[in-house]
Amino acid sequence: MGRIETIRAIETSLESRRAAAGFATTPAAPDAPAVETILDRHGRASAQIIAILQDLQEQHRYLPEPELRYISRQLDVPMTRLYAIATFYKAFRLEPRGRHEVCLCMGTACHVRGGERVKDAIERSLGVAAGETTADMRFSFETVRCLGCCGQAPVMTVDGKIYGKLDHLTVGAALESHT
């Protein structure tokens, strides 16, 4: 697949996922002054592209397409390279995130102590599957392998706060406390 086709394929996929999640499908204009501040901080060097993308994500909690295009033009870095970096590193996100990050452990200890039932309860409560964001942008829900506190299994975090020994009844209350 050529460069243009690759970019189109990625953007078409992102657009259909945005539409399915109820987000606007037409990206807004970039916040040029904010991107300029980031570029200047890193000496407008294409060699610093990962640090630039990290700062961009810190600002928006994902990598907005208009800002990526702006960076691509300013640094003369092809969009294919930016998308390649954004999809290679798991820490980068190309879709908007909810205000609260729900992270459920599906590691062995959590799995054997009812992690699957907790996952079902979260999905029912939020109305989205793992890997998705609620339409009201309140929550993004992810699963991970181990949160490092297996003694409290099954465990989830919301914005980094640990909720342990969960069951399908306590999950709802934990989520409701995050408005």
Whose Cβ is closer to ligand FES: residue 30's or residue 154's?
A: 154
CB 7 within 8 A of CB 21: no
The count of other CB atoms within 10 Å of the CB of residue 144 is 16
Q: Which of 30, 64, 98, 107 binds ligand FES (CB under 6 A)?
A: 107
Tell me which residue has its CB nearest to ligand FES: 107
**Interacting stretch for ligand FES, rule CB under 6 A, among 26-34, 81-89, 123-131, 150-158?**
150-158
> CA end-to-end span of the chain, whole Å?
44
> Which among 89, 90, 68 is positioned nearest to 79, based on CA atoms?
68
Query: What's phi and psi for 96, nearest 5 deg?
Result: -60, 150
Smallest gap, in angstroms, from Cβ of residue 98 to ligand FES?
A: 22
- Sort 105 into a burial class: Cβ within 10 Å, 0-12 / 13-18 / 19+: buried
Whose Cβ is closer to ligand FES: residue 75's or residue 110's?
A: 110
Is position 64 an interface residue for ligand FES (rule: CB under 6 A)? no
**Interacting stretch for ligand FES, rule CB under 6 A, among 4-12, 17-25, 140-148, 166-174?**
140-148
Is position 87 an interface residue for ligand FES (rule: CB under 6 A)? no
| Residue 162: strand pairing partners | 157
- Site of interaction with ligand FES (CB under 6 A): 105, 107-110, 146-150, 153, 155
